[in-house]
């Protein structure tokens, strides 16, 4: 009997260990991060940031987005819902509501008020997202006794990860340099946030100016500093170091410097302490999005010294967060994942200078000529309500009134677009499965199509072509340079491992749900990463 009791107690003890959950989950989204950046700057990183995550954690080396277009709002929503825009409804940063023809920003909500500022930057909420998030499911599983806090410079980078049930979502308002929220979450800012805002940290960072972290001659992985293909910060004569940060509204310019990430890190660490995250007797969730990488990437491009310097400094920010979690909660008491909301294309003018194919697509000219072609063929009645996300929205009321078929419109549109440099294919989004393009791209378009918010046609461009930008770069294509992003898991119960099989961004929430033994989000299509 003693032996049996000993075995029973041992099994009970083992069962208890197996059911133990992390005190805190920390989701990190790096805005506009290529998978390549983990390796490109690897030997310049410290041992305590990206390298630590890669060496001690699980590295999914072939992780991709499985829909188009790849943009910030859709990316953050997809990471946390475990599904695609066709299901969660966040089809872009902006879109046109098909039923009304009106433009919609992804997190717009005029029924709420700004909290923490006198500006309109707080008229935001997650109401436009159709499904639950992993953060919602975790709160539900714990009878809403856990805490969820979401933080990003961008409103959409905070609100969408926080989900519908977040205790707080905070974003940066450059009107005053304050962290703000909306009345969707609270009537007033917590005292600790008010005190943080009054410390004037953005102003202190700006006063430093931005020079390279290390001697500029050591940035040999990047192109020359004085490049005609890069954009200038406000008030600058050239896009070169040192950046003095004295032009325009410096509280806005700080976004396009590593200091925006520093500020985000400072605020996140303060939130861990003040909200006692990980010490509430439940599994709490902290969602952090580092936005400055996107601003820097857009302005200076993937080959710039500015971007390299931003990642070397972000490495230090991540190291600071991990060290703080170690000290506050203890190693293996927290679970971290790190990914990105999209990657990025090269600057077209830069790659053309290297004799590589690509270019800038004149979107305004293409749309205006398409409208003119439609009017020439069918008369003056407007047949196009608008264009967004490389999609054309048709006026179906006028089509029916004139007895014009979509097929007839498509022929005119395709003929017009074929005259534009960089155009590849016009795809009927509702019938994308029949398009004569590779199956992988057909599936991405289907996954990105939501009939209430997407256009009738998507015009695909050739690789390394995108709209606008004489300097700087962008994203949102179906191609791998926009879809291949990092995915790292680290901490609680994660063993060092490299996974080279294809994984998708929608797998993140399914994997977390499986590990935490909770329901996956309501629209989840992801698979558990083995």
Q: Look at residues 209, 154, 148 and name the one whose alpha carbon lies nearest to residue 179.
A: 154
Q: If 0-12 CB within 10 Å is exposed, 13-18 middle and 19+ buried, where does residue 196 land?
A: buried
Q: Which residues pair with 490 in a beta bridge?
A: 336
Rounded to whole angstroms, what are the CA distances from 365 to 100, 393, 417, 428, 468?
25, 17, 10, 21, 11
Q: Which of 146, 345, 111, 369 is nearest to 229 (CA)?
A: 345
Q: Give, for 171, the enclosing helix (H) or strand (E).
A: strand 168-173
Say if residue 155 carries a ligand binding annotation: yes
Among residues 6, 327, 271, 321, which one has the least CA distance to residue 148?
271
| Residue 490 and residue 336 in contact, taking contact as beta carbons nearer than 8 Å | yes
Q: Is 154 annotated as a binding residue?
A: yes
Q: Compute the distance between CA of residue 247 and CA of residue 229 in angstroms, rounded to an integer.
A: 20
Tokens of 15: 């069962």
- Checking 245-248 for CB contacts under 8 A at 24+ apart, the result is 245/206, 245/209, 245/210
Is the distance from CB of 80 to CB of 158 less than 8 angstroms?
Answer: no
Provide the 8-state DSSP code for 347: P
Q: Is 220 an active-site residue? A: no
In 3-state terms, what secondary structure has residue 314?
A: helix
Q: Tell me how far apart the alpha carbons of residues 65 and 339 are, in angstroms, rounded to a whole number.
A: 11
- Using an 8 Å Cβ cutoff, are 162 and 148 in contact? yes
Q: Which of 72, 264, 293, 471 is catalytic?
A: 72
For residue 107, what are the contacts with CB-CB under 8 A and spacing of at least 6? 73, 124, 125, 126, 128, 155, 156, 159, 160
Q: Is 156 annotated as a binding residue?
A: yes
Q: Dihedral sign, CA of 163, 519, 32, 319? A: positive
Between CA 325 and CA 322 the distance in angstroms is: 5
519 is in an annotated binding site: no
DSSP string, 518-529: SPPPTT------
3-state secondary structure of 458: strand
The C-alpha angle 158, 160, 165, rounded to 5 degrees, equals 95
Q: How would DSSP label each residue in 362-430? A: -HHHHHHHHHHHHHHHH-SS--EEEEETTEEEE-HHHHHHHT--HHHHHHHHHHHHTTSTTEEEEEEGG
Q: What is the residue whose two structure tokens read 């979509």?
A: 406
**Residue 331 phi/psi, 5° resolution?**
-60, 145
Q: Are 252 and 174 in contact (CB under 8 A)?
A: yes
Q: Which residues are annotated as a binding site?
A: 93, 154-156
Binding residues for substrate, by number, are 93, 154-156
Q: Which residues are catalytic?
A: 72
């Amino acid at each position: 009997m003693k032996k049996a009791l000993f075995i029973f107690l041992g099994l009970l003890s083992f069962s208890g260990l197996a059911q133990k959950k992390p005190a805190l989950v920390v989701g990190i989204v790096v805005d506009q991060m290529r998978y390549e950046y983990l390796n490109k700057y690897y030997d310049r990183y410290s041992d305590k940031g990206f390298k630590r995550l890669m060496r001690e954690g699980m590295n999914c080396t072939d992780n991709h987005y499985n829909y188009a277009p790849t943009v910030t709002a859709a990316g953050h929503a997809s990471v946390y819902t475990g599904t695609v825009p066709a299901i969660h409804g966040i089809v872009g940063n902006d879109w046109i509501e098909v039923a009304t023809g009106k433009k919609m920003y992804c997190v717009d909500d005029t029924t709420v008020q700004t909290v923490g500022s006198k500006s309109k930057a707080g008229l935001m909420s997650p109401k436009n997202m159709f499904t639950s998030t992993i953060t919602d499911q975790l709160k539900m599983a714990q009878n809403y006794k856990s805490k969820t806090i979401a933080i990003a410079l961008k409103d959409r980078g905070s609100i969408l990860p926080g989900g519908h049930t977040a205790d707080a979502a905070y974003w940066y308002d450059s009107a005053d340099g304050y962290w703000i929220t909306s009345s969707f979450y609270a009537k007033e800012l917590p005292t600790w946030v008010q005190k943080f805002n009054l410390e004037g940290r953005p102003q202190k960072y700006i006063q430093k100016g931005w020079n390279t972290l290390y001697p500029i001659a050591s940035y040999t992985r990047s192109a020359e500093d004085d490049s005609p293909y890069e954009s200038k910060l406000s008030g600058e004569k050239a896009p070169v170091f040192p950046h003095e940060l004295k032009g325009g509204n410096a509280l806005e310019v700080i976004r396009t410097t590593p200091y925006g990430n520093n500020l985000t890190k400072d605020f996140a660490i303060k939130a861990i302490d003040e909200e006692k995250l990980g010490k509430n007797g439940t599994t709490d969730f902290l969602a952090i999005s580092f936005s400055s990488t996107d601003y820097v990437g857009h302005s200076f491009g993937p080959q710039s010294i500015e971007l390299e310097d931003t990642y070397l400094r972000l490495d230090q920010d991540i190291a600071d967060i991990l060290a703080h979690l170690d000290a506050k909660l203890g190693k293996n008491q927290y679970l971290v994942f790190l990914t990105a909301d999209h990657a990025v294309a090269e600057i077209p003018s830069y790659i053309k200078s290297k004799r590589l194919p690509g270019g800038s697509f004149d979107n305004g000219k293409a749309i205006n000529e398409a409208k003119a072609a439609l009017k020439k063929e069918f008369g003056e009645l407007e047949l196009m309500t608008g264009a967004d996300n490389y999609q054309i929205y048709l006026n179906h009321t006028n089509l029916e009134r004139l007895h014009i078929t979509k097929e007839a419109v498509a022929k005119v549109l395709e003929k017009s677009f074929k005259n534009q440099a960089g155009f590849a294919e016009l795809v009927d989004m509702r019938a994308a499965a029949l398009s004569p393009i590779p199956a992988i791209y057909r599936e991405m378009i289907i996954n990105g199509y939501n009939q209430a918010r997407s256009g009738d046609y998507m015009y695909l461009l050739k690789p390394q072509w995108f709209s606008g930008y004489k300097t700087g770069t962008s994203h949102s294509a179906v191609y791998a340079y926009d879809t291949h992003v990092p995915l790292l898991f680290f901490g609680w119960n994660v063993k060092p491992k490299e996974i080279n099989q294809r994984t998708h961004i929608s797998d993140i929430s399914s994997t977390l749900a499986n590990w935490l033994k909770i329901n996956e989000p309501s629209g989840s299509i992801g698979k558990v990463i083995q």
